[in-house]
Amino acid sequence: MEEPKIAIVGGGPAGLQAAITVAKQGFQPVVFEEHQRIGSPIQCGEGMSLKAFHDFSIPTTNNEFCVREHKQCQLVFPSNKILYGDIHAFMIKRDSFDQYLANKAIEAGAEIKTNTKILEIRRKPEGSIIKLKGQDKTTYFSHFLILAEGARAKLAQNLSFSSPQLIKAFEYRIEGEWGEDLEFHFDAQDYPSGYCWIFPRDNETNVGIVTTAKQMKTRLDSFLKKKKIKGKIVKKIGGAIPMKGPVSKLASNNIVLAGDTAGMVNPIFYGGIRIGMTSGKFAGKVGVEYLTSLEEGTEYSTQQYSQYLSQLQFMQDVNLKCHNFFYSRSNSFLTKLGKTFDKKSINQITGWEKAKIFGNLLKNPSLLKYPRGLLRIYLGFKIARDWGF
């Protein structure tokens, strides 16, 4: 039986960042990744905020995965009214980025086992017994387990954790640069609980949809036609992602959840790279602290994991409240909201522009019926600007 001190299930950004954190503290974690190649298949819009690069000291000059820089986004409401956002993000090659993180983990001392599926995990008071599927009959025992297996969270469910509520996304990678800014198109009828996006890259554009509605491909094809996007479709990407933010229970005894498994996305734009990596970093930190306490014979609660995360903006209740209010509005409401802020940059509104916007609000008393909702939209979108990718 193999006995790594810390085992990590999932070789995405959350699991890999956990491995980096653990390995840098002198432990040697093992990462189990079910796919043959780190970074595949891609299930991501491939946008990442500048703050994520800064958080983890990742160079934005790395041409292996940095594709294009964006300093502005457009929030497009029904009737084509636009609100600008001063987002600072990069389009990345997600597969190459994940491989970059994997190399960092290996260099720090982690072991990564690809093409390795878990058959069963049995919880014991002193750790977890991990059995593999397939020809490799090796059994592993780990004192500390980090589950970053993805949004479906099947192993987590078997260990009595709740799974995140999911929403589906579907994307085309299309030849040609269709637009300048990152664009988010909202329509309560056509894309309920979500939006369509246009993310220009170098010589390509990612165009996709995330929604609770059925017939996603039909809806996305209609959006392409509406926007007159006619480039050749190079790749099709789809999958389920967490919808309403972190799950209620993130840790239990010697097991913690990270990344999509823990619902670590921003519930407004459903982006999760920065949030997932942050959760992975703290999961690794808690794992090291837990093992250190075992060696010293002292008590340690993995609920410290929730305490670390609770200090960060993406864990605030306002994010989910913003989601619930914004995505329950009608197109009539969204159109009036767009007209009120038309062609304004949400975080760069000057004094006289504020007066003009207030005047617009007075012309639309139906908006003023929801002062708390409007405040939640403002606060939630502001947090999403930094934590949305």
pLDDT digits (tens, 9 = 90+) for 201-241: 999 999 999 999 999 999 999 999 999 999 999 999 999 99
Band the pLDDT of 389: cuts 50, 70, 90.
confident
pLDDT, averaged across the chain: 93
**Model confidence pLDDT, tens digit, residues 127-148:** 999 999 877 778 999 999 999 9
Instruction: Give the residue range(s) of CATH 3.30.9.10 domains in the chain.
Output: 166-242
Average pLDDT score over residue span 66-87: 91
Asked if 210 and 194 count as a contact pair (C-beta separation under 8 A), the reply is yes
- Alpha-carbon span 365 to 357, nearest angstrom: 13
Q: How confident is the model at residue 41 (pLDDT cuts 50, 70, 90)?
A: confident
| Positions of CATH 3.50.50.60 in the chain | 6-46+93-164+247-315
Q: Helix (H, G, I), strand (E, B), or coil: what is residue 64? A: coil
pTM above 0.85, yes or no: yes
- 96 Cα distance to chain centroid: 17
Assign residue 46 a region: left if phi > 0, alpha if psi is -120 to 50, beta otherwise? left
Token pair 């309920």 is found at 192
CATH of 166-242, one of 3.30.530.20, 3.40.50.150, 3.40.50.300, 3.30.9.10: 3.30.9.10
- Is residue 189 pLDDT above 90, yes or no? yes
Number of other CB atoms surrounding residue 147 within 10 Å: 28
* Cβ atoms of residues 155 and 298 within 8 Å: no
pLDDT of residue 346: 67
CATH of domain 6-46+93-164+247-315: 3.50.50.60
Say whether pLDDT at 299 is over 80: yes
| Distances in whole angstroms, Cα of residue 162 to Cα of each of 154, 303, 335, 386 | 10, 16, 37, 27
Residue 350 pLDDT > 70: no
Greater confidence (281 vs 82) lies with 281
